[in-house]
Amino acid sequence: MSKVLLINPAEFETKYTKAPSLNRMVFPPLGLAYIAAVLEENGHKVSILDAPPLQIKEKQLMETVRKTKPDIVGIQAYTSAIYQAKTAAECIKQEYPDTTVVFGGHHPTFMPDDTLKMSKSIDYLVRGEGEYTFLKLTEALENGTNGKKLKDIKGISFRSNGAVVNTPDADFIKDLDALPFPARHLLPMDEYHYFGARREMQSLLSSRGCPFKCRFCAVGAYYKNVWRPRSAKNVVDEMEQIREKFGIRAIAVMDDMATFSKRRIRNICQDIRERDLDIYWGTVSRVDTMDFETLKLMAKSRCLQVLVGVESGSERVLQNSHKGISLQQIEQFFIWCKKLGMDTVASVVFGLPGDTKESLQETLWFIKKLNPGVAVFSAATPYPGTPFWDEAKQNGWLPKETKWSDLNMYDPVLNTNEITKEELEDFIQFAYLKFRGPKWGMQRLYNDFRYTQKIHGFLGAIRVPPLTVRLFVRWFREKSRGKTFDGS
């Protein structure tokens, strides 16, 4: 039996933590929780340190390491957090040189050689889906394996005789229902919240992957454009566990393609209603995979909010990005949601290939016309493994001084032929000022109070207004400075 510590490092920013309209969203690290569940199922002793919601830095991190004394430390390494992951590895190795350090996540998957060369404190990488690969690596290390046997484990990278060895990619998990539910008992369950409200919530993944080929998205590349769903029953079983075991009623279904199959999402809704499950939920959806009747069933099963990847208000930019949707489809989707009383979140990306100052203004006008409950404005960010990354490198759009930590989807990094990163930064701030305002503040206040009262009752709902008021005060202060798109 091995002692394993899984770490989600702190002190990195993303569009979800920096965007002023979100007031810092905090989600559980389900990838680590899935790995922990598989390890526990196979007899290993596991701990998880989720540093971001606890605001834990290196000093407190090392206190956890000293307390748990792990044989293996697995560190989640997103691109924007790769330096924090590296620092954590080096702190651990300095004090416990015999502890094995393993990195996993999108960045090591797409950049294995670069990741291993960052620091000698990184012993192994787990590429792609980590549950069974990490288990095989753990058991191999426990048995004192050598380099030859390690090469038989698919989906790992390591050093051998001064060279980096990348074994063949591991196969995708065929039956996601066979996985145990995430080990949420190892997480700080009262620290997760959604779109600014200090409400207890949990997220889950009902499927993995995406069959679409948006040029800017790393999800399709990571899962090789393969979509694998869990069964409706398995998804609702997990919802029921979250409600009964942890007492949580608000659940965010956060996989990118939760609504890809209308039949499956209808079965999920039907099962929730048949069990009379005391939950409220939200999800992510494309506009072209849904119809009004399916949305209606979702609303009846207490789906309160839908996040939509609008991306752009320019047909040309959507086509350039291979998004595969039209403005008419987007507009119709938002009309349906309003008719059903469902709250909407519009995710928008400014600065995609082909974007100009004119198309940015088109997009902002289109978002104001849609009038979503929340808008998330992101800077187009190229990630390793995506066609957008290759395009940005080939065209010299990424300045040489760009760091991995700059790729957070909020701070612009590209200088394209049409717009500079400084101009894009001004526009994102301008867009938030234009989107927020008295009308938005009152609407957001009403929606937050209404939905939170459903989930947590009147006493829980009265905790929401100060958050929305705080955002409105911030808007008023910024508005009073008279900031415009050109930065004047």
169, pLDDT greater than 90: yes
State percent of the chain over pLDDT 70.
Answer: 84
DSSP letter string over 60-75?
HHHHHHHHH--SEEEE
- Lowest-pLDDT range of 59-63, 66-70, 130-134, 460-464: 460-464
60, pLDDT greater than 70: yes
233, pLDDT greater than 50: yes
More confident residue, 460 or 335: 335
Write down the pLDDT at residue 221. 86
384, pLDDT greater than 90: yes
Write down the pLDDT at residue 374. 86
Write down the pLDDT at residue 433. 81
3-state helix, strand, coil in the chain (%, to 5): 45, 15, 35
12, pLDDT greater than 60: no
Q: What's the rounded mean pLDDT across residues 367-374?
A: 92
User: CATH 3.40.50.10330: does it fit domain 3-166?
Assistant: no
Write down the pLDDT at residue 456. 55
65, pLDDT greater than 70: yes
For 58, the token pair is: 């290196």
In angstroms, the CA 478 to CA 458 distance is: 32
Local structure of residue 351 (DSSP, 8 states)? S
The 10s digit of each residue's pLDDT in 262-279 is: 999 999 999 999 999 999
Helix axes 292-300 and 327-340, enclosed angle (nearest 10) = 30
**Residue 486 — very low, low, confident or very high, per pLDDT cuts 50/70/90?**
very low
The 10s digit of each residue's pLDDT in 119-162 is: 999 999 999 999 999 999 999 998 876 556 899 999 999 999 88
Provide the 10 A C-beta neighbour count for residue 293.
11
Give the architecture (CATH level 2) of 200-435: Alpha-Beta Barrel (3.20)
More confident residue, 472 or 252: 252
Write down the pLDDT at residue 256. 85
Look up the pTM and report it: 0.89
479, pLDDT greater than 60: no
Domain chopping of the chain, boundaries:
3-166, 200-435
- Lowest-pLDDT range of 79-83, 368-372, 393-397, 467-471: 467-471
* Look-up of token digits 């001064």: 162
More confident residue, 16 or 442: 442
**C-alpha radius of gyration, the chain, whole number:** 22
Write down the pLDDT at residue 26. 80
Write down the pLDDT at residue 185. 97
Q: What's the rounded mean pLDDT across residues 276-286?
A: 94
Write down the pLDDT at residue 143. 83
How far apart, in Å, are the Cα atoms of 384 and each of 105, 156, 311, 421, 453?
12, 18, 20, 19, 42
Q: What's the rounded mean pLDDT across residues 458-474?
A: 51
User: What mean pLDDT value characterizes the chain?
Assistant: 88
2, pLDDT greater than 60: yes
Local structure of residue 162 (DSSP, 8 states)? T
475, pLDDT greater than 70: no
96, pLDDT greater than 90: yes
Write down the pLDDT at residue 14. 47
- CB-CB contact of 73 with 99 (8 Å): yes
More confident residue, 28 or 480: 28
Q: What's the rounded mean pLDDT across residues 377-391?
A: 94
Please state the length of the chain.
488
**Residue 487 — very low, low, confident or very high, per pLDDT cuts 50/70/90?**
very low
